[in-house]
Amino acid sequence: MPSDAFDTGLSGATIVLILLALFIILTIYRGIRVVPQSEKWVVERFGRLRSVLNPGLNIIVPWLDRVAHKVSVLERQLPTAKQDAITSDNVLVGADISVFYRITEPEKTVYRIRDVDAAIGTTVAGIVRSEIGRMELDQVQSNRSSLIGAVRAQLADQVDDWGIEVTRAEILDVNLDEATRAAMLQQLNAERARRAQVMEAEGKKRSVELQADAELYAAEQVAKARRVQADAEAYATGVVAEAISRNGIEAAQYQVALKQVEALTALGNGSGKQTIVVPAAALEAFGNAFQMLVKGRA
């Protein structure tokens, strides 16, 4: 067969141009990088850090630069860990801890720490032990927000060199051993019994105070009534005295006779059937009172 049968119809210059075009296209492709919104890419040149590509369209030097690490910047959650610690009053507690973080500077994270989750977990464990060791059991249970704030602040300071931002740190629960729980339950029951006794005593005290106030009020009202009655009697006595001073002995005799008549009237108004024996002096009293009344009108 002749050699012309294997001829493709392309000259050497054409092949070179095609290869050159392919190389240019590949170079452009390697020089353009589109980074997703949730990631940041770390670029190296000859094994050294060159730059960090932010989300969007980026251009690098092809054949020299390469994307060495693709780091997600989404918020992450460490697995919930239980950390044992001893309080200042020597009580063993177990704290369930949850930490949320995100990577803000990937160039620090990829070159300064190998296992981010393990490093943060170890740091959190040391901080929690230190903070709980400064507090008593009652403070750990009642001031959990201050404990969380202290853990979060110290953790943020220590992981800053790793390019990490701690977004949240939560202590989900504080667990106690059975002996401590039984002792606390007994203490709680004793406290409740003490409060009940105090409330009962305060109730009795209040009842006595109210009873004394009621008796005092009743005595004051009786005293006021007696004062009013005494004023009325004094006024009546004054009127009688004035009448006697003006009219002489006859006014006094009239008052005596009038009292006798009132006494007999009250006796006759008694309940039931009664037989009343009226002395002769009573009849004279009626007569004297009538005569004096007539004289007074004359």
Give the pLDDT mean for 18-40.
93
User: Residue written as tokens 């239980």?
Assistant: 82
Burial of 67 (0-12, 13-18, 19+ CB in 10 A): middle
- Per-residue pLDDT of 178-208, as tens digits, reads 777 777 778 778 888 888 889 989 888 988 9
Give the pLDDT mean for 55-84.
93
Question: Long-range contact list for 198-204, CB < 8 A, 24+ apart?
Answer: none
Does the pLDDT of residue 231 top 90, yes or no?
Answer: no
Give the pLDDT mean for 283-296.
55
User: Would you give the end-to-end CA distance of the chain in angstroms?
Assistant: 184
Does the pLDDT of residue 248 top 70, yes or no?
Answer: no
Separation between Cα atoms, residue 99 and residue 77, nearest integer Å: 6
Separation between Cα atoms, residue 93 and residue 132, nearest integer Å: 9
Average model confidence (pLDDT) for the chain? Answer: 82
* DSSP single-letter state for residue 9: S
Give the pLDDT mean for 111-118.
91
Between 2 and 66, whose confidence is greater? 66
pLDDT for 254: 64
Does the pLDDT of residue 283 top 60, yes or no?
Answer: no
The answer to whether the predicted template modeling score (pTM) of the entire model surpasses 0.85 is no
Supply the Cα-derived Rg of the chain in whole angstroms. 55
- Per-residue pLDDT of 152-168, as tens digits, reads 999 988 898 999 999 99
Report the share of the chain in percent with pLDDT over 70: 78
| Weakest-pLDDT range from 103-112, 116-125, 224-233 | 224-233
